[in-house]
Structure formats: structure tokens, C-alpha cells
Amino acid sequence: MNTQQKEKYYIGIDLGTTHMKSAVFDEHGTLVEIVKDATPVTADEYGQIYRPEEFCGLIKGQLARLLKRHGNICAISITGMSEAGLIINRTTGKEATPIIPWFDRRTVGLSNQVSKEQEQEYLCRTGLRNNYKYGIYKYLWLLEHSGIKREDSLWLSACDYIAWKLTGEFVTDPGFAARTYVYDIINHCWDEERLAGYGLSTYNFPKVLPSGERAGCLSDSGLLSYTGTKNIIVCIGGHDHVCAAYAVIREDANHICNSIGTAETFLGITDTVALTESNYHSGMVYGAYVNGKCNFWMGNISSSGQSVEWFRKKAQRTPIDYPEMAELLASLPKEPTGILYFPYLSGIGTPRFQPEADGGFFGLRENHTAGDLLKAVIEGISYQGKWILSLLPDEEIKKIRTITCVGGAANSAPWMQIKADILGIPVTVPDITEATLLGAVAVMLENNYGSQARERFLSESKDKNQYYEVDYECNKKYQEVYQRFQFLADKLLD
């Protein structure tokens, strides 16, 4: 008799702004296959939208391809962008509106109705600063423009929507619930007082399950025809930044996840404690971490990779490629350039929330070269990162053993070394190509198969790290330049 156990496989789905991806992983976290398509954005008379049938059809098409080719798929975990969403008609069980993307600005007028006093009060409940992107504003706008009655309506984020289409269940997780701006992250519940002020109730929102908890089983008949089983677990792993962090720092409060893309985020783990006025003034945002036992803090640099892309494409007569930039950086001395670059091409989020702020250079001399300017851009981004970390209490800073970096920029050794030297904290780059997808599956494993299954899944990438130690001579010089950076940044932003 053959007693050999069949290898288990899992699918992660990532609903991204640029691409939508579905990937198969084995039990050891090896990426077996990934399929991706451009996120199908289109427009209506008010701005940009996703058409639900096209959006869902694309994901079902990806799943069909993977389920056909891979047997013994045991679970599907969903992650992705946080604030995109739509209204479902509870009475008809049909989509009542298009999906509004997180970046669509039709809701700016609604968000502007919130006063500074209200914003501070709401941050103490939601962990968020007021922003037109949040789900409640999209919900209210759609109610006004769709004609659907409040009592028939249900708000779902884009990830909640895909979970519903796969299982028939209306559920979300605390991370997506929080990005509606009407979920209390301290008391772990919908804010019924604020909902009542909008003429809404908890009936208008999905049930909140812990991240990674089983929402249901795959019930789509078309997809089930490829599987031979009705027991494929489907869950919501959490929103993308949190899933990426979970893949690389797990639940370790002594590490910070630094995700670098067009924008850059620093995310760390903190206790679930009452938020105060000082949290509001920090410019940080806060949310529920995947295990439900603690929260996270997050600071952002909105123009990190964007600044490098600006230098690469717009500051040159002919765009230069990444190998050329690497060559430029490698040819320079390791000491600071002395140039101050303020990375505010799209404003600033942390530690001052000023979307209208402008970026710029200070300290240019005639001997500075294109290479110096490129290095100054990377230095400026890292100075801004140091400013964000300076908001943490001293005892928290002392506990940080390493900054774990993910994203395209993590492949640049010169950038990572500059970051370590400026922050004064060692930098680790794990050998992970799809951290968000990996994290979403890991969250699912923790909740449905236990911590041993999660550790086995994440073990392959655990010991394949690139380390960048701090050069303390450089760090001392960078400290002096950073003081000038912070002084001038304060003046520019006042």
C-alpha cells in the first residue's frame, strides 16, 4: 500500500494597482507558477473605475489556468489594494455599482467635510488620517449616484468582493475593515456611532473575521470542475503592505519591514493601546496586524522610487537604465555627497501630512556630477526614512535589530548600503520575489494549519538573506548632514 502523502499546494491572489497576480506555492514556500495580467482600469464620466465582471473574470481565468495545471490545491488566500470597493445589492445578490479604485479622486469633496478636530478624534479610533481614498467616502458617493437604497446595500472592498464571488460569503478582515475609516481598531468592531451618523449600520458591512481565517470553501461551479474536490479553503489574508511584512518579519517587534516601490513604507509592530493626540501629530498611520493580538504603525515616503524614476527618465536627455545607475553609484566615494534632496515630488505623508509640499535640492556646487545627484536622491530618501524612525520612542529604536527591505530597490546593493549607513541600523534583504503573495499564504497557514505549517512554508527564504552592516565612520558623517536635512525640511514645511 502506498502511504506516501501527496504534496500540498496553495494559491495566493494579489489584486494590485498595476497587476493582478495568482501564484501557486508548495508546502515549502517555493513559487511553482505565477500568472499575472494588467489590472483592467477603465473610466466613467467621474473618473476611473474597474468593471466588476471584468475584474472578477480576470481572476477566475487565472485560477482556472492554475487549477487545471496543478493538483491538490488545498487553499486560496487573497490580498491586495486596501481602499478600492463597490456596493452589492443584498436583495438581488448582484453588483450594484462599479468598483472605485483607491486612487480615484471623485470623493475629495466628501473627505473635505471632516474638520481637523474630527480627524484627530477619528484617528484615535481608526488609526488613520482623513483621506479621500477611504471606503466610507466611496460608499457614500456611490449611494448618492447609483440610486440604490441604503437598506439594500452592502459595501465590499475589492478583496472582499473576490472572496464573495469564490465562496458566496460576505466577509472581510480587520485590515480591510479599517481602511473604510469606520472600523474601530482598538475595540475591534465597526464604529456604530459613526455609521449611524451616515444613516448606515453594521448590516451594511461584511462580517469581520481574523486575517487568514477560513471565509468558506470554493463554491464556483466552473472552477470546481477543474479540482475534483469541494474542500478548497478560501480566506482573506490581509492588505498588501501587512502581508508583505508578515512574510519577512513575522510577529517580531524587533524588526521593521521597509517596502520600497514607487512609494516607500516602514512598518513595525506595536501593542494594541489607545491612540492619542501625539499619534495624530506624528503623521504615522496605525492598523490591525494579521494576528489580531497587536497593531502596526506605518510611515511612508510617497516619492521614493518615484524620485529615482524622475532622475532616470526626466533629469536626463536620454533615459538611463538600471545597470548604468548602478555603475554611476559604484564609481563614487562612500562618503556623503553633502547635497540635500527633499523627496516630496508627490508631497509628504510622514512625519508631516502635506500633500501639496514640493521637493528640491539644496547645496549644489559646480563640481557635482550626475552621479552625485543620483546618490543625493538616494541619500535624501534615506534621510526622510531616518526622520520617520526618529518618531519612535527611544526604547523602541534600541530594540530594532535590523531593517528588512523588500521591493525592486532592495536589489540595489549601493542603495541598501547607503540606507544602512544613514539609518545606523543594519539592513537585511531576504531572497523573496513575491513577498505579498507569500505573506498572504503564510497568514492562511497559521490560521488553518498551525504555526509549524507556516514556519515550514517560510523556511526556504529564512536563511537566504543579504546583510548590509553599518559603516560607522560613514554613519558619523551622515549624522551631521542629516541634522541639516531635518532643520531645512522643518523650515520648508512650516
Closest Cα to residue 285, out of 297, 295, 269, 271? 297
Q: DSSP strand E in 364-453: where?
A: 402-406, 427-430
Look at residue 212 in the predicted model and tell me its pLDDT.
Answer: 96
DSSP calls for 210-227: -TT-EEEE---HHHHTTT
Q: What are 259's three cell numbers?
A: 517596502
Distance (Å, rounded) from C-alpha 441 to C-alpha 25?
8
Give the CA distances from residue 69 to residues 24, 64, 75, 232, 374, in Å, rounded to whole numbers and listed in that order. 10, 9, 15, 16, 45
Q: Which helix (H) or strand (E) holds 34?
A: strand 31-38
For range 243-265, the mean pLDDT: 90
For range 168-186, the mean pLDDT: 95
- Straight-line distance from the first to the last Cα atom of the chain, in angstroms, rounded to the nearest whole number: 76
pLDDT band, very low/low/confident/very high, at 216 (cuts 50, 70, 90)? very high
Whether residue 463 is predicted with pLDDT greater than 70 in this model: the reply is: no
Superfamily of domain 9-240: ATPase, nucleotide binding domain (3.30.420.40)
Distance (Å, rounded) from C-alpha 331 to C-alpha 249?
33
Look at residue 3 in the predicted model and tell me its pLDDT.
Answer: 40
pTM score of the predicted model: 0.87
Q: What are 49's three cell numbers?
A: 473605475
Could you report the per-residue pLDDT of 412-452, keeping only the tens digit for each?
999 999 999 999 999 999 988 899 999 999 999 999 999 99
Neighbours of 201 (CB within 10 A): 13
Look at residue 180 in the predicted model and tell me its pLDDT.
Answer: 98
Same fold, 9-240 and 250-430+464-494: yes
Average pLDDT of every residue of the chain: 93
CATH 1.10.10.10, domain 250-430+464-494, yes or no: no
* Segments in 292-406 forming alpha helices (H): 304-309, 322-330, 370-389, 394-399
For range 151-177, the mean pLDDT: 97
For range 168-183, the mean pLDDT: 96
Could you report the per-residue pLDDT of 307-343, keeping only the tens digit for each?
999 999 999 888 988 889 988 998 999 999 999 999 9
Closest Cα to residue 300, out of 391, 434, 211? 391
For range 404-416, the mean pLDDT: 91
Q: Domain coordinates of the chain in residue numbers? A: 9-240, 250-430+464-494
Q: What are 400's three cell numbers?
A: 530594532
